[in-house]
Amino acid sequence: MAEKNKEKNELIEKVVRVNRVAKVVKGGRRFSFSALIVVGDGRGQVGLGLGKANEVVEAIRKAVGQASVNMKKICVEGTSIPHVAIGRFGAGKVIMKPADKGHGIIAAGAVRAVMEAAGIMDISVKCLGSRNPNNLVRSTLDGLYNLRSNEWIAKARNKDIDYLKQ
C-alpha cells in the first residue's frame, strides 16, 4: 500500500483546461465544471482524464483518477522522440519532430502540458486544424502512442540498427 502512494506522489499533473458550463433553470443559473488533465511520470508514461462535477476541485480529482488509470507507455529516446510522428483526432492534427538536446519544447499550451508530463524536453510541434485543447491533447497522445523505437523498426525490417542511423 505504501508503494502505491509513493508512486502516485511522483506523478506530474498538468491542468490543460477547466471549462464552466451554465444551465439555466427556474431559479437562475446552475454552473458545472469540466477539467481536462494530463498525468505523467516524467519517464515516458502519460495519460489523459476528463472529469465533470459541480465544483472545480471535484472535477479535477475525477480527471486525475481517470488519467492515472489511462496511462500508457510511450517510446522516448533521450530527451526527445525517436522519429517524426503525426497524430490525428477529430479535426486536430499534430506534427511532432525530434530535436537536439537543449532545443526545448516548441509547442502550443495544450501540447506542451503533454510533453512535460511525459518527460520529453526537446521537441518541435506544429498544430494544424482544430485549436480545441481537447482535440489537440488527444491527437498528440495518438501520435505519441504510435511511436516505435529504432530497435523495433530495425527488427521489423530485418536490418541492423546501424543501417537505420545512416
Domain range for 149: 74-153
Between CA 51 and CA 64 the distance in angstroms is 8
Q: Examine the fold and report which residue of 39, 55, 72 is the final residue of a domain before the chain moves on.
A: 72
DSSP 146: T
Residues 85 and 54 in one domain: no
Smallest CA-to-CA distance from 85 within 24, 12, 143, 43 is with 143
Joined together, the cell numbers standing for residue 153 give: 523498426
Q: Which residues contact 153 (CB under 8 A, 6 or more apart)?
A: 83, 164
Identify whether the C-beta of residue 18 lies closer than 8 Å to the C-beta of residue 56: yes
pLDDT digits (tens, 9 = 90+) for 70-81: 999 999 988 999
Distance (Å) of CA 19 to CA 127, 137, 162: 21, 15, 49
pLDDT at 161: 78
pLDDT at 152: 86
Between CA 124 and CA 92 the distance in angstroms is 17
Q: State whether the Cα torsion 66-79-165-98 is positive or negative.
A: positive
pLDDT at 114: 95
Mean pLDDT lowest among 41-50, 90-99, 156-165: 156-165
Rounded average pLDDT over 133-150: 93
Residues 68 and 86 in one domain: no
Question: Is 67 inside a domain boundary?
Answer: yes
Strand 105-106 and strand 123-129: the pairing is parallel
pLDDT at 38: 97
Question: Is 104 inside a domain boundary?
Answer: yes
Q: Examine the fold and report which residue of 42, 72, 102 is the final residue of a domain before the chain moves on.
A: 72
pLDDT at 1: 44
> Which is more confidently placed, 157 or 119?
119
Question: CATH no. for residue 90?
Answer: 3.30.230.10
With 90 as the cut, is the pLDDT of residue 30 above it?
Answer: yes
Count of domains forming the chain: 2
Question: CATH no. for residue 58?
Answer: 3.30.160.20
With 60 as the cut, is the pLDDT of residue 82 above it?
Answer: yes
How many of the other CB atoms lie within 10 Å of CB of 135? 20
